[in-house]
Amino acid sequence: MARQPMDIRKRIERQEKKIMDLTDQLHLAQEEYEQMRKELEEQEKAEIFEAYQKSHRSYAEVIDFLKGKADI
């Protein structure tokens, strides 16, 4: 006996559920990504500040360097 084709309504419902599940997963992944980007940014700021504190350069020298105006 051959299988009966699934009712189109059931197929649509299944697809809608898949779409909703994937949408939820995407939103969670986006939130996680944004959190990781913020953590990376904070880490980079801390590293830059630490390097500045260890250097013997003045604030003006550091700013000029970052702006590309430094005489190295």
Q: Residue 56 and residue 66: Cα distance in Å, rounded? A: 15
Q: Could you tell me the pTM of the whole model?
A: 0.65
| Predicted pLDDT of residue 55 | 92
Residue whose entry in the numeric block shows the structure tokens 């702006």: 67
Integer Cα distance of 12 and 16 in angstroms = 6
CB-side neighbour CA atoms (13 Å) of 16: 6
Report the pLDDT averaged over residues 41-51: 96
Q: Cα separations (Å) of 66 from 8, 57, 61, 69, 71?
A: 62, 12, 9, 8, 11
